Amino acid sequence: MSQQIVWTKLVNFMGPTEARVLMGDVLGQLGLAELANANDRLRFGTALIQRGGASSMVGQTIALQARLHGAR
């Protein structure tokens, strides 16, 4: 479910092709096989924010939602 929430946002934001590349890239950077919970989503969103530019826009909403879902 956590992975699906983030995947939907990325696809809506940049389309499936770029979303697939970005998802794989950031998961690799974080050393994660998948996003299993809200804490993973927060790390994922934070990594996108640190990349800056358009990625930070979707990163901010992913991180905010993860915090609301209990991530610390």
Partner 1 sequence: MFDLNWTYANCIANSEKIAWKLDDIFPSDTELDFTMPFLPEELALVDDIEFLSDDEKKKLNHISGNTYLHLFGFVEEYILANTVQYANAEMYGDRDAVRALCRFADEEAKHMLLFARYRKAFNRGFGHECPVLESAVAVAEVIMQKSPVAVMMLTLHIELMTQQHYTECVKDNKDIDPLFAKLLKCHWLEESQHARIDALELEKLAMAAEPSQIGVSVSDYLDLLGAFDGLLRQQAEMDAKTLATVTGREFSDEQVNTLIDSRMKSYRKTFIVYGMTNPMFVKIMKIMSDEGANRIAENVSVYS
Residue (30 or 65) nearer to partner 1, CB: 65
Residue 61 CA neighbour count, 13 Å, CB half: 12
User: Can you give the binding site for partner 1, defined by CB under 8 A?
Assistant: 5, 8-10, 12-13, 38, 58, 60-61, 64-65, 67-70
Question: How far apart (Å, rounded) are the C-alpha atoms in residues 66 and 14?
Answer: 20
Residue (6 or 31) nearer to partner 1, CB: 6
Residue (26 or 58) nearer to partner 1, CB: 58
